[in-house]
Structure 1
Amino acid sequence: MALVAATHAEYIKLTSTRSPYWCVGVVAVLSVGIAALLGAVAANAAGDTGLRVPDYLLGLNQFGVVVLMIMAVLAVTSEYRFGTIRTTFVATPQRGRVLVAKAVVFGALAAVLTALLAALSLGVAAVLTPASSNVSFSDSVALRQIWGTPIWALLCVIVGVGVGALIRHTAGAVVIILVWMLVAESILAVLPKVGPAVGPFLPFRNGSRFLNAAPDADAYHWNAYVSLGYFAVFAALVFGAAIAVVRRRDA
């Protein structure tokens, strides 16, 4: 019951502030907008454009998920910024339960939202993309995008909550996530000698590989489903570390 109460409190916070609505709007525009843009490009091109189903969800799986992670970070850091975290911990002395409640609420939002947007974006792309482009929107790859994207988004949000709780400062947490996810892993993966050794073990590349079927799949030591499990373990470790630190650190 205590977790239910904490989850309800987080739901009230979610629905009573403006930033989540803006984040949802941005994710929707990025997802559907980029899918429609690529569909229009395919419609105006002659023959196969080289685009595949994961490309049409670039706006959602890459940029949109980053926005959702930032939203998860804000769910934690904004409370530290305005001092409301003390009231939250007084109401729920089990501090780990507060983080779990945040992960449940924002993770559920991310999963439901991305499932709907994945289906909608692929639907828009299917309408605009001509048959001559040789793209199938009903095969196993497309279906994996629809059910796999919510899992990817959920795990990324859990990482966002964890990083937000560990760092406590919005700017620092956001920079760490952006640099780590979009810059550091990409650079490490292409470094001579170092890249082939560490690339298959980079967490975000493993999570992204599950959806995108990376062309360098042979470089990994396991299949795409194990890559998803690898990223899930990483998310659990970050979240577990956040709970341990929050329990010991002053608010």
Structure 2
Amino acid sequence: MIANLLRAERIKLFSTRAPWWCLAIAIIAPLGFTALFFALAGPEIPPTVGNTQLASGNGRTVLLVLAVLATASEFNWGTMRLTFQAVPSRVPALLAKVVVIAALGAVLGLVVGFGSWGLASLVQPDADLALHSAAAWRSVLGQSLVFLFTAVAGVGVALLLRSVAFALTVVLVWTQVLEGVLVFIPGVGKHVYQWMPFHAADEFVGAAGFSTGPLQLPSAPLGPWGYAGYFAAITVALFVAGVLVTARRDA
């Protein structure tokens, strides 16, 4: 049954053009900005492996949009109700959905991570961008883990809110406005910002240097893997909450 559910979710995911457009944008946007950063930026963005991932947040945001559309639109069109009628329990169906979207996110993260690093190496061939340390490998390979859990978060938010418009508004306001504004609140803002989930993701892959340097943030309360666990816990909690809510109300 699990194999059939996974196959069904894969077919549903790629049955429209929207996911393909989202994937294309999620790759082109960060790679394009990375090329611009390394071609035009001055000393404020030194050529390091971590800084090759500065634009990865653009890809994460598009992946959030993809995950929300793939999940919440099923409630709008009634296909989620048909899925629940065909499956004895709702939980396996929702698990199959998140596995498919998260797996896609993991692959996308690899493409963005290695693509950004490779493009930066081409733009600045004299820079030392070799992957000769564990931190360097974490910056590039870690994008796969970050994108995977970003997809989990998108599915969770969509299950909680069900409305495409509402869920998209929440994830876009959070990623594009709220996290960036919090840091400027006098007194506590910089401390609160260090616990924001997507800042935690950037800390894990070493792509937070541009924000932590100019903003003069205090010392990070967690290490890279601590931030990874924190980010993963938040995204899984969102998904579990979404599953519990969905299991208790009509589709």
TM-score, normalised with respect to structure 1? 0.88
Secondary structure of the equivalent of 1:219?
coil
Q: Which runs of 5+ in 2 are unaligned?
A: none
Take 1:241 and 1:29, find their aligned partners in 2: how far apart are those partners?
33
The answer for the alignment partner of 1:142 in structure 2 is 136
Shift of 1:82: 1.0
Secondary structure of the equivalent of 2:23?
helix
Given that 1:159 and 1:238 are in contact with CA atoms closer than 8 Å, whether structure 2 keeps it comes out as yes
Shift of 1:98: 2.0
Shift of 1:40: 3.0
Letter in 2 for 1:191: I
Letter in 2 for 1:178: L
CA offsets, 1:195-245, max 9 Å, x none?
244233322221221122443674332212101101111111111100100
Secondary structure of the equivalent of 2:14?
helix
The answer for the alignment partner of 1:224 in structure 2 is 224
Take 1:26 and 1:113, find their aligned partners in 2: how far apart are those partners?
11
Matched, 1:102 2:97: yes
The answer for the alignment partner of 2:152 in structure 1 is 158
Take 1:139 and 1:92, find their aligned partners in 2: how far apart are those partners?
49
Take 1:142 and 1:119, find their aligned partners in 2: how far apart are those partners?
11
Shift of 1:146: 1.8
Secondary structure of the equivalent of 2:194?
helix
Shift of 1:54: 3.3
The answer for the alignment partner of 1:127 in structure 2 is 122
Matched, 1:113 2:112: no
Matched, 1:210 2:209: no
The answer for the alignment partner of 2:88 in structure 1 is 93
213-222 or 181-190, which moves further after superposition? 213-222
Letter in 2 for 1:55: N
219-228 or 196-205, which moves further after superposition? 196-205
Shift of 1:49: 5.8
Shift of 1:135: 4.1
Given that 2:38 and 2:47 are in contact with CA atoms closer than 8 Å, whether structure 1 keeps it comes out as no
Q: Over the residues paired in the alignment, what is the CA RMSD in angstroms?
A: 2.1
Take 2:109 and 2:125, find their aligned partners in 1: how far apart are those partners?
25
CA offsets, 1:112-154, max 9 Å, x none?
12202321221122122042xx442324343212210010001
Q: 1:228 to 1:93 in 2, by over 3 A?
A: same
Take 2:177 and 2:83, find their aligned partners in 1: how far apart are those partners?
35
Given that 2:64 and 2:153 are in contact with CA atoms closer than 8 Å, whether structure 1 keeps it comes out as yes
Matched, 1:193 2:192: no
Given that 1:34 and 1:56 are in contact with CA atoms closer than 8 Å, whether structure 2 keeps it comes out as no
Take 2:198 and 2:76, find their aligned partners in 1: how far apart are those partners?
28
CA offsets, 1:167-207, max 9 Å, x none?
11111101101111222122223311222442333222212
Shift of 1:51: 4.1
Q: Which runs of 5+ in 1 are unaligned?
A: none
Given that 1:34 and 1:57 are in contact with CA atoms closer than 8 Å, whether structure 2 keeps it comes out as no
Secondary structure of the equivalent of 1:201?
coil
CA offsets, 1:50-100, max 9 Å, x none?
3433333333x2111110111000111111111111101111232122221
Take 1:49 and 1:9, find their aligned partners in 2: how far apart are those partners?
45
Take 1:108 and 1:125, find their aligned partners in 2: how far apart are those partners?
26
Higher helix share: 1
Equivalences for residues 6-155 of structure 1 within 5 A: 6-41=5-40, 50-59=46-55, 61-131=56-126, 134-140=127-133, 141-155=135-149
Q: How many residues align?
A: 244
Letter in 1 for 2:171: I
